[in-house]
Amino acid sequence: MSRINRARIVDGDDVTAASLNDRFDDFSQAGALDQFNTRDGAVDLPQLAKTGFQAPFMQVDDLGKSDLLHAAPVSDSAKGTTPGSFSVLQDGAANPTIATYTGGLSITTNDVLRVYWSLSVAAELSGTPWALGLQYNTITGTGGGGNLDVSTSAGCFAAWLQWDVTDATLTNWTEVPGQGDFQTLIGGGYYGNTLQNCGATTIIPLWSVWMRNVRNGDSSSGAREETRDAGWRGVSGSWHYVSGFTRTIYGLRVVILGVMHPYRATTGGTNALVHDIAPAGGVSLQYTGGRLVTMVNRIK
Amino acid sequence: MAYSKPNTFADGTTLLATEVQGNVDALRVYLHDGIVQADLLASQWVDTRHVQPPRYDAITGLQHGVTGYQGGQSSGALVQLQFSTSYLTGAGFGTSLAAWRRVPTTSFDLDLRRDAKCLLHWAVEVESGPDDVPAVTGRTPAVGDRYAYFAPYVATLDAAGRNVLDAQEVKNNPDGFNSTAPLGADRPYTPANGYGRRTGVLAFERSAGTRTTCGLCTWTQIDRSAVVNWSVALEVWYL
């Protein structure tokens, strides 16, 4: 008998020693308690002894430098050669701020790796970087005032996620799956990523440019360009990953590169984010502190 | 320990009520706290219906069940618009750094039944300023250097419960209001000028049996910022 479902006693049944013994012995069977002996809603927290089953891992690491009032932030210059080399977030004393996992963080096909990060950043500008390279478009004047160059205000730094899945020496950093290294030739001499390879990218705006006193029908007459650099601001990002096989992660880090600008090599082609070196001399990215959260959830 | 009946019955003997009752009493003890792993069917059989369903609290927006807490709150467009103001966070600078204040209605009270891993997801959409009140003693930031900060906290608003590394700032719109029609901010709110949507995640762990509060707090150097939209969501994992 694989379940305890003996029929109840009814009028006319004989009460024998054997029937009485059987009725109690039912409960002595190994492996006999199952769904037929359990009421709905019977399993509550006390019956669930496991810990770290659904959420086996969580870790928080610091990024950058703790400096709430921006007294002495870290500064990273835009790169003037392309394809550009990224910078690893650091604490202001040249120490990289990364996440490491003692003995490696193992994830299986049953897990989802969840990563969240944040950082406080600000643009530091000199000159008119918004008017160089890819950073502007030309509006054709229609009222005799001539053409007008207007910044797209799309100049940005990119921050993205890398990991080391080789060993604990942390010398084999690569982009996480779904993320490119911004060193692919897109076209026109510009290197970057097509958008489908920006799965772990955070965009950091650098400035806003707008026009005042623009006369209706003539984009240039009376125009006055107003500019605001992007002041201190919090930025954040996230990335989720389900591996097709068991793998071990030894480190995670956030890297940055700029100045970037949207680009499309050909009409109808794939949109991309590319490295624009023209404004590099007038742009730095300042940053202070942030957090890097690593969590693993079991999903099946 | 598996169940073993204390009395075995035999043909030709007197059936005593105390012996029957003894077996029943032993069964009662067994069913309450004597079931061991070997008594259960080895293959998976617990279905969703067997698990105690979670309870939903419509006031907090949280459900609590065997896996922990899940849920959240949002501003509901402009229904619960909130403010951050330097009038509540001291002079908004210098020695008032400890004067963080809760953003109203963005906190949760948690009664934890197990050691838990917790994630607080938060988002705010803020219009800061315009504030062009001249800098004065005790309020030293220039109008272009004033910021409204938002940070998640756990339990307390001091350094033990709120880490500045989790704080994210929104810049002031520094140009003030127009003095002639059309009135309003003298310069537009843009992502670089007084406007911002900030999102973050706070991860923390807490022990079973603790009651704790978590949510959003603010500290600002700007006279007035409107938190026009916000949301907080909570994941608490017992298992």
Contact A17 B9 (CB under 8 A): yes
Taking the C-alpha atoms of residue B128 and residue B83, their distance in angstroms, rounded to an integer, is 9
**Contact criterion met (CB below 8 Å) for A206 and A157:** yes
Query: What average pLDDT does the structure give for chain A?
Result: 91
DSSP H helical ranges for A173-251: none
Contact B52 A68 (CB under 8 A): no
Mean pLDDT, residues A194-208 taken together: 96
What local confidence, expressed as pLDDT, does residue B94 receive?
Answer: 55
Say what percent of chain B tops pLDDT 90. Answer: 63
A65 phi and psi angles, rounded to 5 deg: -130, 135
Chain B CB within 8 Å of residue A291 CB:
yes
| A223 has a pLDDT exceeding 80 | no
Q: Is the residue at B224 inside a domain? A: yes
Would you place residue A213 in the very low, low, confident or very high pLDDT band (cuts 50, 70, 90)? low
Q: Is the same domain home to B97 and B37?
A: no
Chain B: closest CA distance from residue A49 (Å):
8
Mean pLDDT, residues A211-232 taken together: 70
Q: Which of B201, B216, B220, B234 to mutate to test the interface with A (most CBs of A within 10 A)?
A: B201
Contact A17 B4 (CB under 8 A): no
Which of chain A's residues have a Cβ under 8 Å away from the Cβ of B2?
A: 28, 30
Task: Supply the CATH number for residue B128's domain.
Answer: 2.60.120
Q: Which helix (H) or strand (E) holds B231?
A: strand B225-237
Q: Is the residue at B169 inside a domain? A: yes
Mean pLDDT, residues A285-294 taken together: 98
Taking the C-alpha atoms of residue B33 and residue A49, their distance in angstroms, rounded to an integer, is 14
Q: Is the residue at B139 inside a domain? A: yes
What local confidence, expressed as pLDDT, does residue B161 receive?
Answer: 92
Taking the C-alpha atoms of residue A137 and residue A149, their distance in angstroms, rounded to an integer, is 6
What local confidence, expressed as pLDDT, does residue A228 receive?
Answer: 86
What local confidence, expressed as pLDDT, does residue A1 receive?
Answer: 38
Contact B164 A51 (CB under 8 A): no
Q: Is the same domain home to B224 and B126?
A: yes
Mean pLDDT, residues B211-239 taken together: 94
Taking the C-alpha atoms of residue A118 and residue B200, their distance in angstroms, rounded to an integer, is 7
Boundaries of domain holding B125: 55-237
Say which amino acid occupies B12: G
The chain A residue lying nearest B112, using CA atoms, is A45
Neighbours of A251 (CB within 10 A): 24
Q: Is the same domain home to B37 and B127?
A: no
Q: Is the residue at B115 inside a domain? A: yes
Return the higher-pLDDT residue of A34 and A255: A255
Token pair for residue B137? Answer: 């003693």
The domain tally of chain B equals 2
The chain A residue lying nearest B150, using CA atoms, is A234
Contact A295 B10 (CB under 8 A): no
pLDDT tens digits, one per residue of B58-116: 988 999 999 999 999 999 866 789 999 988 886 555 555 668 999 999 999 999 999 99
Report A:95-124 residues touching B (Cβ under 8 A).
116, 118, 120, 123
Contact A62 B3 (CB under 8 A): no
Chain A: closest CA distance from residue B78 (Å):
23
Q: Is the residue at B182 inside a domain? A: yes
Residue A196 CA: distances (Å) to CA of A86, A158, A175, A193, B121: 20, 15, 14, 8, 25
Query: pTM of this prediction?
Result: 0.89
Taking the C-alpha atoms of residue B23 and residue B35, their distance in angstroms, rounded to an integer, is 16
Query: Which among A129, A41, A123, A91 is positioned nearest to A253, based on CA atoms?
Result: A91
ipTM: 0.89
What local confidence, expressed as pLDDT, does residue A215 receive?
Answer: 57
Query: What average pLDDT does the structure give for chain B?
Result: 90
Which of chain A's residues have a Cβ under 8 Å away from the Cβ of B149?
A: 68
The chain B residue lying nearest A60, using CA atoms, is B203
- Provide the residue ranges of all domains of chain A, joining segments of one domain with +: 1-49, 51-298
Q: How many CB pairs under 8 A join A and B?
A: 184
Q: Is the same domain home to B159 and B95?
A: yes
| B140 has a pLDDT exceeding 70 | no
Contact A228 B169 (CB under 8 A): no
Say which amino acid occupies A75: S
Give the one of B27, B97, B144 whose C-beta lies nearest to A24's C-beta: B27
Chain A CB within 8 Å of residue B196 CB:
yes
Give the one of B4, B149, B238 whose C-beta lies nearest to A45's C-beta: B238
> What's the burial of B145, exposed, middle or buried (CB within 10 Å: 0-12/13-18/19+)?
middle
> What's the burial of B37, exposed, middle or buried (CB within 10 Å: 0-12/13-18/19+)?
exposed
What local confidence, expressed as pLDDT, does residue B96 receive?
Answer: 58
Taking the C-alpha atoms of residue B19 and residue B13, their distance in angstroms, rounded to an integer, is 12
Q: Is the same domain home to B120 and B200?
A: yes
DSSP B164-214: GGG-EEEE--TT-B-SSSSPSBSS--BTTBBEEEEEEEEEEEE-TT-EEEE
Chain A CB within 8 Å of residue B165 CB:
yes
Give the one of B38, B149, B203 whose C-beta lies nearest to A58's C-beta: B203
Q: Is the residue at B50 inside a domain? A: no
User: Nearest-5° angle of CA B5, CA B7, CA B8?
Assistant: 95
| B20 has a pLDDT exceeding 80 | yes
Q: Is the same domain home to B169 and B195?
A: yes
Chain A CB within 8 Å of residue B130 CB:
no
B42 phi and psi angles, rounded to 5 deg: -70, -35
Chain B: closest CA distance from residue A182 (Å):
25
